[in-house]
């Protein structure tokens, strides 16, 4: 169960309105790696968690924090939309700067949301639940989380460079710092699990059942062998079980497929 | 530019048809972590790659291999659908086993695809491009790739357990082995980049611009302190810069937000 | 079965082209509360209607009218796109007004539709059938309809303010008037049903089976008690059954959840 | 900012596993009118609220409660999935009851989520943000909310009838009661606003600008006049401004449209 | 503007309920090639039509007919759902036939639609507007229409084979006949346009601007030359301009791409 | 199985960057009729092909070529994005040309992709698998393919007209030529199949089972009889079986539908 306090986790006040930037900032609110994604991902991982209690607690801690990040971004976007030129289009057409703002802002911010934030990304595409990763395997999911915080911090840093508004930058500097923490957090959690279980997900699938002669081979399917110079093609494998092999000319190992004719009742094309 | 050979990378032949299993197997063909996802992800990362040549070459090697995995799964699914009970429903209704097959298979496999594979997941939801991650930052993207191979191997292992068909299991044992390789590959590539650039994405954002007093704090937003026992709450941080802090009672640092009235022309509700 | 006459229900002629406005106007054609939504919603409610005949007739009346509104908007949009600057981009780049038009219009209007309307919203997102509400319970659905006409009239009024074109405004004044009627219509229909069935949907679920001690309590989950001053927190409830209670400090009534370990064959993380 | 306590708002414990019912229950978690929808809708309405403080406070109260409902349903679904027959399919094929469970459950619950809940509906379709309504006009949005609670309670009542599990029914009885409250709450809030602003959304659009001769006319577009017997076709209109008119034979008032030829550079078909 | 009559274009009465078949039949109502698709496609092509009047009239004729087909299918589905076993699940679990029906039907038909049709396909995926093709070029669009009627008739024929219900088959026999007509219609319209404009879309793009040395070459990109035996690899081309060439070993004609480093402010990975 | 060579099938080098055009060009990469669509469509048709070998070989030839077209477009888009004004927004605001570029480009190209191509269309909407047509009936599918190449060539020609960049035009001239070939190819393949099987899909459904009295009737559902002047309303039908009939006043042939009351447990509205 949840409680809310009115104060934001950190200040979210732009120095001045900027409706075009409001559109861009939607990316880290409702995009694939926006705050809604991590909020939902951590909460569902927590609620579905069948592992020991500290993982569930930790997931609900961070998931709850992320609801507050969604709140900060929504609040910021609503304020960036203040004063957007939503009227007098005829006048606007005479002023290329205003016209450019009208062209560059998301029309739904005015028509649909009345100058409010929306749970969409910067292309206006709605957030959807296929972004949420919760597999029940914590090593897999913590890797998903480390990726989410990496893509997320990258996007926030890009957005930081795209504005000079001190108020916006101040809020983003907070989110960037939290993403630094969260990358560290997931790296620590991953290391902790890898040390006891090994690094291949899932660790408890009997490796005898896999086709082991291709388990450590890098296959060169594109012309040119620059790829042979990587750490993925030489030396010990990261799971500590073998040595990387470089297969210069990978050959097919399977059949040339032919399918049987289909049943007459499906009216497909048969030989 | 690409070339095709008719033989599959590895044998894809079920021992007998199983239309209900065909529906399930769609997950690793057209699901979020299916073969279409990694195919598109590695190819787009390769085509967009602005880094040194070995990364581009490596990405196109593995992206090209993945097209062949899509092919193997599509071929397998088409064969699993052979002999599906698509007619004589009245007869079927009398035989609960056949009726259960009819209920459990995906009706589109017959109506739409004429017993062919489709680029959808096991719920019949179409693959879509928001699954594709290509940010231009290789450390971020390699973490996405490691996650994809972890979720992917997990799903294939689960599917392995859900069948006893030796032909299906043989093909899955190949895919599982390749996912072992690919997890190793991305771990190696990640380690290589982290050693020169550090482990926080993006590494070249000036950390002075982030709000550093919260960069290493774990915040306990949910009642109960089990989370304080994790490696993410104590000891040195994984980026080697600091020590984790545990914040037992996190407090808001921001304002209690109030928004200005909106313009009359938008007809929203003002105070 | 349906028939068509060539004349529009009301005149749809812009005074001059405006491709940027054409993009915005798509919202009330193919958006969540656009004309396609109400058309589909009323028709499906009518076709699925199991209630007495006057409801089915009324739903098909208004559903049929809405097809004509879709037609008016599509016609208007095609004309607003006349003369869009789709060529000579190099020239355009020199004229910031033309460049702004190019930036502000939806590129698909030219590339995909050849200056025709499309069944999408103002962000270019396609209309989809999850917008259609048809539950089989008329009180629930008429509330959906009242909401649709409220959101719809709000959006059309906003669009009215965003243009000064007399031809566009004339058509919008017609649509706004019809939305006035349709809000009145659904309010009347709701009142009619509420008077015989009561106001809680569904009315024929035995209220003894609900946990009645929380059926009339407003719970204060966010810090601050401004919400106690609303009509939802004091006085008689609208269903005439009770008095609103204000719960100042809501407490959990449920268990602290713990889940059982999962089966080994799913390779999740267990304690 | 938000805090979490470990106990659920109300008990969520099934008396026994039921993976087929788990699939159905997803509807009120991640469907159009599931708990995620109302959670997001109330929170975004609250964060975007430009009206007086009691509305914002009330919206955040109820939005925060709804996060707890999402939590209860996720917890219930994870437990309903316990013991799902995810292995030994060959054995299962011999037992039609187990086969039917396998056919009737959502395969992603096992393959993707490892027996955890997912933010999707009962057809496996992901929740998406186009379900979220936040227009900035509170009368419009409260009507959306009343509809959401009406559709929601209807669906939960239907699900109540589809099970006899006492534990599931106990939890649903709580959710049904809260939906009773929330319908009452939105009716009260609507009445409060209508009394000061009138009942047509938006109330502050100058009605002189609408085409008033069709503002109160019911138009009979479908053959048969049963619809003339409704309260929407006779007597005073609900906004208190006029009397309903019944138009027996509605005639077109607009032009027969013809479009100009398109530009040669778009290669469309011209006359 | 449109009018409605209460009678269906053709009888839609099943001989008995069949909720599992109702789910399948949704494909030709709300699937990619269902009746909603052709309804929307023909209407939008008609409303956007800038060509001579007979095309617009014809498109609106057939588009209006298709609304009536949507109506027939919705009516049929609602009746197929009559008597679905939506209660007493405990009882059902004892009867494998009923259990199979519960597993095989779409749960939303009961929970969301109260035994009504929905605008979705047989996998429960919502119809969406990206299915609608209206390019402004009639030859292109008539080919889209011919395809739609071909896929549509194929699916209806498959569904005809999947039932033995005389009432359902009677209605499908009508839809199949109309699809026969509509395939003939689009073939006739295509031939008419090709005779005056030629057969390559768009016909009025100056062919000198295309790279004509590859305009008539079949390229053998997959190992094996069975494809050289087709009419697409030998003899005169269908546009009457040339002779097909078979390129046995197609070679790249382009550069080995390398991209420039990106700007520092985007924090991508550069060499 | 597939192999890759580093050289592109044809040169893809813009003469100068143009981020606004990059957004537009996405349409033919990731739009409904972009290269990803034909790539996936031809490959899935090939892998699912149950007909004689030359069809499978041909489909895999062209499907493999299309992967190379995706590569060319992705490469071109990445280069068009070079030098996009992604920083110094304050400066940009003073220069309307730069501001227009910022407004007209897709913000995700910078924020999400770091100046790389994405598998989306020109509205930023992701490619999805519902675009892929693979029915198992080759005549139906080849018509889908002819349509795809017609819409595709039309869009590329439109994009050709929207730029004057010689490098971009050079690449487009290659793609246009290949689309000329591919339209010829599918026309040839269609003719080949029609000659042996007839022209109505599916050809092997017994026409006696269709309601033959409406198999060749054009029905005039919209007022005005311009449509009677088309080749679809007079003369022999294209399948060679009959003569087109023009039905001036089409009448309903079906019942006036009424539905039974629903079960009490679903709480719908009954009479
Ligand atoms: Ca290589
Ligand atoms: Ca905690
Ligand atoms: Ca409060
Ligand atoms: Ca009527
Ligand atoms: Ca070949
Ligand atoms: Ca006509």
* Segment B34-49 mean pLDDT: 98
Same domain, C95 and C158: yes
- For A35, half-sphere exposure in the C-beta direction (CA atoms, 13 angstrom radius) is 25
Q: Centre a 10 Å sphere on the Cβ of residue F203 and count the other Cβ atoms it contains.
A: 17
B219 Cα–ligand 2 center, Å? 8
Same domain, B67 and B193: yes
Q: Kindly list the distances between the CA atom of residue B254 and the CA atoms of A68, A120, A174, A180, in Å, as whole numbers in the listed order.
A: 11, 24, 11, 20
Strand-pair partners of B3: F3
State the ligand closest to the CA atom of D62: 3
Task: Retrieve residue F193's tokens.
Answer: 């199949």
pLDDT score, position E102: 74
**Is B128 within 8 Å of F127 when comparing Cβ atoms?**
yes
Same domain, C240 and C145: no
Question: B185-224, pLDDT tens digit by residue?
Answer: 999 999 999 999 999 999 999 999 999 999 999 999 999 9
Which of A49, A84, A112, A116 best probes binding to D when mutated, by most D CB atoms within 10 angstroms? A116
**Is A271 within 8 Å of F114 when comparing Cβ atoms?**
no
Q: Kindly list the distances between the CA atom of residue C52 and the CA atoms of C65, C92, D226, D245, in Å, as whole numbers in the listed order.
A: 21, 60, 10, 22
- Identify whether E190 is part of a domain: yes
pLDDT score, position A193: 97
**Is C58 within 8 Å of D268 when comparing Cβ atoms?**
no
**Residues A113 and D136 sit within 8 Å (Cβ to Cβ):** yes
Same domain, F97 and F190: yes
Q: Kindly list the distances between the CA atom of residue C242 and the CA atoms of C215, C230, C237, D182, in Å, as whole numbers in the listed order.
A: 9, 16, 6, 14
- Identify whether F6 is part of a domain: no
- Identify whether E230 is part of a domain: yes
Task: Give B264's contacts in chain D (Cβ within 8 Å).
Answer: 204
**Residues C142 and C186 sit within 8 Å (Cβ to Cβ):** yes
Question: Is residue A18 classed exposed, middle or buried when 0-12, 13-18 and 19+ CB atoms within 10 A define those classes?
Answer: buried
Look at strands C245-247 and A2-4 and give their pairing.
unpaired
Q: Which residue's entry shows tokens 């100056």?
A: E206
pLDDT exceeds 90 at position D101? no
Among residues C266, A113, E14, E73, which one has the least CA distance to residue D133? A113
State the ligand closest to the CA atom of A64: 2
Same domain, A74 and A101: yes
Which of A26, A48, A63 best probes binding to D when mutated, by most D CB atoms within 10 angstroms? A48
A29 Cα–ligand 5 center, Å? 48
Which of F102, F114, F135 is nearest residue A20 as measured by Cβ atoms?
F102
pLDDT score, position F92: 61
pLDDT score, position C93: 59
pLDDT score, position D102: 74
Strand-pair partners of A115: none
Question: F37-86, pLDDT tens digit by residue?
Answer: 999 999 999 999 999 899 999 999 999 999 999 999 999 999 999 988 87
Nearest CA in chain E to A158: E266
Nearest CA in chain E to B20: E104
DSSP label at residue E262:
P
Same domain, B125 and B224: no
pLDDT band at D91 (very low <50, low <70, confident <90, very high): low
State the ligand closest to the CA atom of A3: 3
pLDDT score, position D205: 96
Residues 218-247 (D) with a CB less than 8 A from some CB of A: none
Same domain, B82 and B174: yes
- Neighboring chains of D (3 or more beta-carbon pairs < 8 A): A, B, C, E, F
Q: Contacts from A226-230 at CB under 8 Å and sequence distance 24+?
A: A226/B53, A226/B54, A226/B56, A226/B57, A226/B58, A227/B54, A227/B57, A227/B58, A227/B61, A229/B54, A230/B54, A230/B55, A230/B58, A230/B188, A230/B189, A230/B192
pLDDT score, position F23: 97
Which of A90, A104, A205 is nearest residue C164 as measured by Cβ atoms?
A90
- Identify whether A79 is part of a domain: yes
**How far, in Å, CA of A174 to CA of A9, rounded?**
10
**Is C64 within 8 Å of E119 when comparing Cβ atoms?**
no
Residues 39-58 (A) with a CB less than 8 A from some CB of C: 47-53, 55
Same domain, C111 and C234: no
Which of B6, B51, B55 is nearest residue E223 as measured by Cβ atoms?
B6
Residues 117-136 (D) with a CB less than 8 A from some CB of B: 120, 123-126, 135-136
D78 compared with B99, residue with greater pLDDT: D78
A257 Cα–ligand 1 center, Å? 26
- Identify whether C230 is part of a domain: yes
- Any CB–CB contact under 8 A between A22 and chain C? no
ipTM, 2 dp = 0.97
Task: Give E237's contacts in chain F (Cβ within 8 Å).
Answer: 184, 188
Task: Give F132's contacts in chain B (Cβ within 8 Å).
Answer: 118-119
Cα–Cα–Cα angle for F40, F46, F49, nearest 5°? 135
Which of E17, E98, E269 best probes binding to B when mutated, by most B CB atoms within 10 angstroms? E269
pLDDT exceeds 80 at position E115? yes
Residues 175-194 (E) with a CB less than 8 A from some CB of A: none
Same domain, A221 and A170: no
Residue F25, classed as helix, strand or coil, is helix
State which residues of chain F have pLDDT below 70.
Answer: 88-94, 96
pLDDT band at B95 (very low <50, low <70, confident <90, very high): confident
- Any CB–CB contact under 8 A between D101 and chain C? no
State the ligand closest to the CA atom of D223: 4
pLDDT band at E95 (very low <50, low <70, confident <90, very high): confident
Residue C128 φ then ψ, to 5°: -140, 160
- Identify whether D262 is part of a domain: no
- Identify whether D255 is part of a domain: no
Nearest CA in chain A to B87: A265
Among residues E52, E47, E42, which one has the least CA distance to residue E178? E42
Domain that holds residue D189: 19-197
- Any CB–CB contact under 8 A between C23 and chain A? yes
pLDDT score, position A104: 86
CATH number of the domain that residue C65 is part of: 1.20.1260.10
- Any CB–CB contact under 8 A between E23 and chain B? yes
**Is C158 within 8 Å of A86 when comparing Cβ atoms?**
yes
- Cβ contacts from D onto E, under 8 A: 113
State the ligand closest to the CA atom of F57: 5
Which of B20, B31, B122 is nearest residue D102 as measured by Cβ atoms?
B20
- In angstroms, what is the C-alpha Rg of chain A? 25
Same domain, A32 and A90: yes
User: Helices E35-47 and E53-80, interaxial angle, to 10°?
Assistant: 160
From A67's Cα to the closest Cα of chain D, the distance in A is 7
pLDDT exceeds 90 at position E88? no
State the ligand closest to the CA atom of A226: 1
Residue E120, classed as helix, strand or coil, is strand
Residues 252-271 (D) with a CB less than 8 A from some CB of F: 265-267
Question: E50-59, pLDDT tens digit by residue?
Answer: 999 999 999 9
Q: Kindly list the distances between the CA atom of residue D64 and the CA atoms of A68, D148, D179, E62, E257, in Å, as whole numbers in the listed order.
A: 11, 16, 15, 51, 52
pLDDT exceeds 60 at position C58? yes
Residue D219, classed as helix, strand or coil, is strand
For chain E, the domain total comes to 2
Same domain, A38 and A130: yes
Strand-pair partners of F222: C4
From D234's Cα to the closest Cα of chain F, the distance in A is 21
**How far, in Å, CA of D155 to CA of C140, rounded?**
11
Same domain, A224 and A100: no
Question: A139-198, pLDDT tens digit by residue?
Answer: 999 999 999 999 999 999 999 999 999 999 999 999 999 999 999 999 999 999 999 999
Q: Which helix (H) or strand (E) holds F3?
A: strand F2-4
- Identify whether B11 is part of a domain: no
From E69's Cα to the closest Cα of chain B, the distance in A is 19
What mean pLDDT value characterizes chain C?
Answer: 95
pLDDT exceeds 80 at position A98? no
**Residues D38 and D148 sit within 8 Å (Cβ to Cβ):** yes
Among residues B142, B179, B148, B184, which one has the least CA distance to residue B55? B142
Which of F161, F176, F197 finishes a domain? F197
Task: Give E221's contacts in chain B (Cβ within 8 Å).
Answer: 2-4
pLDDT score, position F86: 78
């Amino acid at each position: 169960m949840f409680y809310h306090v009115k104060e934001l986790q950190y200040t979210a006040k732009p120095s001045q309105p900027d409706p075009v930037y409001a559109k861009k900032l939607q990316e880290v609110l409702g995009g694939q790696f926006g705050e809604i994604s991590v909020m939902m991902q951590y909460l569902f991982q927590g609620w579905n968690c069948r592992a020991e209690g500290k993982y569930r607690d930790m997931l609900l801690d961070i998931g709850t924090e992320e609801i507050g990040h969604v709140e900060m971004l929504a609040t910021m976007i609503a304020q960036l939309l203040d004063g957007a030129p939503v009227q007098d289009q005829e006048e606007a057409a005479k002023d290329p700067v205003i016209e450019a703002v009208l062209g560059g802002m998301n029309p739904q911010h005015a028509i649909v949301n009345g100058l409010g934030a929306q749970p969409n990304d910067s292309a206006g595409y709605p957030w959807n639940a296929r972004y949420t990763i919760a597999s029940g395997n914590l090593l897999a999911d913590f890797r998903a989380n480390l990726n989410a915080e990496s893509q997320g911090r990258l996007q926030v840093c890009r957005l930081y460079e795209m504005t000079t508004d001190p108020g916006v930058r101040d809020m983003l500097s907070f989110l960037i710092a939290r993403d630094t923490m969260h990358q560290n957090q997931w790296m620590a959690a991953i290391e902790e699990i890898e040390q006891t279980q090994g690094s291949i997900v899932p660790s408890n699938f009997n490796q005898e059942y896999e086709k082991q002669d291709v388990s450590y081979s890098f296959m060169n399917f594109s012309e040119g062998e620059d790829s042979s110079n990587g750490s993925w093609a030489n030396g010990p494998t990261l799971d500590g079980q073998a040595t990387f092999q470089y297969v210069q000319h990978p050959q097919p190992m399977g059949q040339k497929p032919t399918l049987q004719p289909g049943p007459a009742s499906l009216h497909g094309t048969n030989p």
